[in-house]
């Protein structure tokens, strides 16, 4: 069977927009579903590729807007992300919205080649810095992680081939909150023994493209998307401050992360043949730091 060539990206935001561009470059058609479609950000893609990106204006929480999705769609990447970290937002984004889209496609009798759901490593709510991988049972410590796990279970119950991608924290161009805080020396160093798991947006989008094109027999039901350097947060932030030419503030240690404290393995992703462009934050952040340093202050 040929890989999917007409992919619906549900929730084409920071990650989904990049995936759409990669799909277009690969010769696929990408249908980018958003409540309010906007033009793609500036891209290095060839001028011929935007014709393969087709914006769809629809609301995943309004089933009536999902009734006439293109008949050519043969795969779905559900990449919507909650705009707030509260139970209602997670319920709406990961369960209700995913359910509405799946049932709309089921009612139209679609036969999809695969359905990929972008979840989060938040389902590993351990607090002791242990290593986790696909075989590690989830450890639920709050309602947000509980909702994500229920959404994963919904994904696996669908009648099509499915894959849950548990993504680490996604960083990349335009997501500068942490760098801006460090520039203003407002981000305290966390205590030792607390780890951060990250993945560059471009690598996360490339991983999704990779999974869309994997032979069906090689598609794992669940896979972690995290870079190869689950660094101690204190080391990571100290490095960021050094690159910015700033000194960490003496504000006392930062609070421990609400999403848990663990180190994520991406061995399985590598075993499928994927290669990182940014295997460490030391590879992914320099361009972002240079961009922030070269941008004049807003009040200048």
Flag whether pLDDT at 297 surpasses 90: no
Q: Residue 43's pLDDT is what?
A: 44
Give the H/E segment covering residue 170.
Answer: strand 169-171
* Sequence ranges of the domains in the chain: 6-175+198-230+262-280
- Report the C-alpha gap between 293 and 288 in whole angstroms: 9
| Tokens linked to 4 | 């999917």
pLDDT in tens, 174-229: 999 999 999 999 999 999 999 999 999 999 999 999 999 999 999 999 999 999 99
**246 CB-near residues (< 8 Å, 6+ apart):** 182, 183, 185
**169 CB-near residues (< 8 Å, 6+ apart):** 196, 197, 198, 199
Confidence of residue 67 (pLDDT cuts 50, 70, 90): very high
Q: What pairing do the DSSP bridges indicate for beta strands 114-120 and 162-167?
A: parallel
Q: Residue 51's pLDDT is what?
A: 83
- Report the C-alpha gap between 200 and 253 in whole angstroms: 26
Of the candidate CATH numbers 2.60.40.2480, 3.60.15.10, 3.40.50.720, 3.40.190.100, the domain formed by 6-175+198-230+262-280 belongs to: 3.40.50.720
Mean pLDDT of the chain: 92
pLDDT in tens, 216-256: 999 999 999 999 999 999 999 999 999 999 999 987 666 65
């Amino acid at each position: 069977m040929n890989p999917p060539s007409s992919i619906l990206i549900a929730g084409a935001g920071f990650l989904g927009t990049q995936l759409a561009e990669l799909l277009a470059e690969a010769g696929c058609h990408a249908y980018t579903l958003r409540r309010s479609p906007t033009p793609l950000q500036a891209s290095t893609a060839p001028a011929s590729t935007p014709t393969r990106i087709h914006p769809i204006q629809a609301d995943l929480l309004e089933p009536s807007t999902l009734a006439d999705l293109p008949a050519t769609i043969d795969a779905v990447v559900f990449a919507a992300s909650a705009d707030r970290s509260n139970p209602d937002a997670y319920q709406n984004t990961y369960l209700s919205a995913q359910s509405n889209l799946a049932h709309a496609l089921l009612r139209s009798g679609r036969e999809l080649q695969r359905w990929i759901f972008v979840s989060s490593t938040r389902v590993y709510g351990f607090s002791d810095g242990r290593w986790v991988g696909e075989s590690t049972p989830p450890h639920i410590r709050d309602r947000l992680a509980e909702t994500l796990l229920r959404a994963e279970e919904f994904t696996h119950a669908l009648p099509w081939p499915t894959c849950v991608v548990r993504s680490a924290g996604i960083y990349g161009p335009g997501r500068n909150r942490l760098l801006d805080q460090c520039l203003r020396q407002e981000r305290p160093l966390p205590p030792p023994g607390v780890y951060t798991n990250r993945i560059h947006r471009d690598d996360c989008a490339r991983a999704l493209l990779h999974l869309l094109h994997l032979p069906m027999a090689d598609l794992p039901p669940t896979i972690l998307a995290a870079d190869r350097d689950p660094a101690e947060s204190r080391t990571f932030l100290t490095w960021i401050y050094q690159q910015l030419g700033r000194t960490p503030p003496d504000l006392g240690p930062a609070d421990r992360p609400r999403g848990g404290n663990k180190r994520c393995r991406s061995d399985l992703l590598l075993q499928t043949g994927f290669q990182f462009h940014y295997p460490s934050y030391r590879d992914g952040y320099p361009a972002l730091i240079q961009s922030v340093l070269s941008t004049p202050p807003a009040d200048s």
